[in-house]
Amino acid sequence: MVEAQLKTRILEEFSGLERISDLLTAQEHKLVASTVEMKYEEMPYTPIAVVDGVLSADDCQRAREMLESYACVGFYWGKELLTKDGSNRGLMSLPRLDLEEGETHGETLWDPRLLNKKDMNYCGTMEDLSRNFPFERKYDPFKEIKKGIDASKLLTYQERVLIGSSSQNQLYLDNPHTPRGFLDGLLSIEECNELRKRMFFVDGLTAPGYFGKDGEGIVKLVQLDAKTGMTVCDPILLNKDELEDADSEFDYNNDFPYQREVA
């Protein structure tokens, strides 16, 4: 759908909303190089429309999901996104809102991420952020997970073995390519996929030799099959400095845990 048509549809569907930009928080406004009144900066993670009582947090979340992303200033993420016209514009994600009752109700659950325009996946890491990143908070990719669920639930048993963990749970052993949170019935495949995308990688690889490489490594969290919940391929080793694939092909050694058969 053309961007203008989408914005028109959102304004029509959510009565009382006058400007699409009111779906943004004060933090997000700064990331798109716009300014807001001081009262909104006192609640930097809550969308303008929610602060003003124009939309409930639930309705604002639905509208933000429709919008999906928003143009932003790329250098806040430490990325040079110079376009042909010389501008430094990128796209940022619109984080989910906290819909549970409590002090943070209506606030975004994490800081916005920079998106790759080609595939709309997250690019870079939160460690790349500019020192001027507005209202930066300690990045916690798991804050949005239901209470009582730790981050390790996003990992498959295969990935856990790569970072030196183990388990005697037969369910995990029988399904080494499926995240534990899904196997335990705590998270849907969609939730696991979304959270793994935000987490992007897991460090602490204790045996990089699995990939035929020396030194420390970082394991990329590959996406899950939408039907089965299994990872679409074996884990990928990332270059620790650039967070890019270390090699297009890996020399997996014979001890690589739960390696899939190569056709």
pLDDT digits (tens, 9 = 90+) for 76-120: 877 665 555 555 677 888 888 888 888 889 998 778 888 766 656
pLDDT digits (tens, 9 = 90+) for 55-84: 999 999 999 988 888 988 877 877 665 555
- Whether pTM > 0.85 for this model: the answer is no
Which phi and psi (to 5°) does residue 111 adopt?
Answer: -70, 150
Average pLDDT, the chain: 78
Cross-sheet strand order for the sheet of 201-202: 201-202, 218-220, 236-238
Section 25-45 average pLDDT: 94
pLDDT digits (tens, 9 = 90+) for 222-235: 889 988 999 998 88
3-state secondary structure of 200: coil
3-state secondary structure of 78: coil
pLDDT digits (tens, 9 = 90+) for 172-189: 999 999 998 889 888 888
Closest CA to 110 of 229, 27, 15, 222: 27
User: Residue 157 above 60 pLDDT?
Assistant: yes
Predicted confidence band of residue 24 (pLDDT cuts 50, 70, 90) = very high
